[in-house]
Structure 1
Amino acid sequence: MTIENEYAKLWISEGILYFIYKPQTILQLDTAKKIVMDRLKLQNEISYPVLCDLRMVKDSEKIARDYLAREGSILTKAVAFLVEPPFSEATIYLYLRTSKPVIPTQIFTTKTEALSFLEKYKIK
Structure 2
Amino acid sequence: MNQNLIEKFIVENEYTKLWIEDGIMFGEYKEDVTIDLTAAQKVVSDRIKLCKNIAYPFLGTTQGLQNLSKEAREYFSTEEGTRFMKKLAIVTTSSIDKMVGNFFLKFNHPAVPTRLFTNQEDALKWLKEDL
TM bucket by the smaller chain?
over 0.9
Instruction: Report the AA paired with residue 31 of structure 1.
Output: A
Q: Which runs of 5+ in 1 are unaligned?
A: none
What's the CA shift string for 1:3-26, capped at 9, x where partnerless?
A: 000111011010000111111111
2:115 paired residue among 86, 99, 106: 106
What's the CA shift string for 1:60-99, capped at 9, x where partnerless?
A: 1101100010122111001000111211100010011111
How big is the shift at 1:54? 1.0
What's the CA shift string for 1:22-74, capped at 9, x where partnerless?
A: 11111100000000000000000000000001111011110110001012211
How does the TM-score come out when normalised to structure 1? Answer: 0.95
Q: Number of residues paired by the alignment?
A: 122
Corresponding residue of 1:25:
33
Query: What RMSD over aligned residues (CA atoms) do the two structures have, in Å?
Result: 0.8
Q: Which runs of 5+ in 2 are unaligned?
A: 1-8
**Identical-pair percentage:** 34
Corresponding residue of 1:96:
105
1:72 and 2:81 aligned:
yes
Q: Which of the pair has the greater relative contact order for Cα pairs under 8 Å at 6+ separation?
A: 1
Larger radius of gyration: 2
Structure 1 residue runs of 4 or more that deviate by more than 2 Å after TM superposition: none
Please show how residues 1-124 of structure 1 align to structure 2 within 5 Å: 1-70=9-78, 71-122=80-131
Do the aligned partners of 1:78 and 1:121 also contact (CA within 8 Å) in 2?
A: no
